[in-house]
Amino acid sequence: MIGKLKGVIDSYADDHVILDVHGVGYVVQCSVRTLQKLPKVGEAAALAIETQVREDAIRLFGFMSDAERDWFRLLQSVQGVGSKVALAILGILPPGDLATAIAMQDKVAVARAPGVGPKLAQRIVAELKDKAPAYTGIDPNLARLSGEEVKGAPKPVQDAISALVNLGYGRPQAAAAVAASAEALGDGAETSALIRRGLKELAN
């Protein structure tokens, strides 16, 4: 099984790259985001590889990091998610953002991927919510602040989240931004400071 390839970019297509490794051209399927990050034709590149062996073919999937490859595998543990859908999700959500979306149960973010409807997005965030922490260092406070549990948060935090939601941001995104802000600013941070910092987090 191939776990990594290092070579020179030979050519690109819409959904794959041909990587020349010592004269052998490997067809490696990649997400749109990965294809955009790879260097120009003729330049060196290295990809973490997932090899899938089928009766009629051997397919190689390439990723910029081992973490992204791990998410590719994990996504396919959900019924209805094959390699094409998994790549589509990773094409719009890098590992960190995907981890946050699952921890926050943000099915809307996952449903942005081509081929992912609301029902499948709901299934993905529901089935992976207990597995996601193994693949990321996401702060559990982000999950705690989502949904109804925000009621137990300090009042400045609640008010800051409400303010960002009123500005048009989704509640999961607003909660994540305020949680990060509260952690950075420390206990006792005022609502206005949390809002300002939260807006900066959302702009990143």
- pLDDT at site 27: 97
Copy the structure tokens of residue 134. Answer: 């193994």
Q: In which region does residue 115 sit, left (phi positive, over 0), alpha (psi from -120 to 50) or beta (all else)?
A: left
31: which residues sit within 8 A by CB, 6+ positions away? 63, 87, 88, 90, 91
Backbone dihedral angles phi then psi of residue 20, each to the nearest 5 degrees = -85, 115
**What confidence tens digit (pLDDT) does each residue in 103-137 have?**
777 899 999 999 999 999 999 999 987 765 444 44
Closest C-alpha among 117, 113, 147, 143 to residue 128: 143
Quick one: pLDDT at residue 33?
92
- Whether this model's pTM surpasses 0.75: no
Among residues 81, 86, 80, the alpha carbon closest in space to that of 61 is found at: 86
pLDDT of residue 149: 45
pLDDT of residue 203: 74
Exposure string of 57-92, with b = 16+ CB inside 10 Å and e = fewer, is: eeebbbbbeebbbbbbebbbebeebeeebbbbbbbb
| Residues in the chain where the model's pLDDT stays below 50 | 133-138, 140, 143, 146-149
Question: What pLDDT, on the 0 to 100 scale, is given for residue 112?
Answer: 93
Domains of the chain, each with CATH number or no CATH: 4-63 (2.40.50.140), 66-135 (1.10.150.20), 140-203 (no CATH)
DSSP letters, 21-46, are ETTEEEEEE--HHHHHHS--TTSEEE
Count of positions (residues) in the chain: 204
Residue 95: predicted pLDDT:
82
Position 148 scores a pLDDT of 41
178, amino acid identity: V
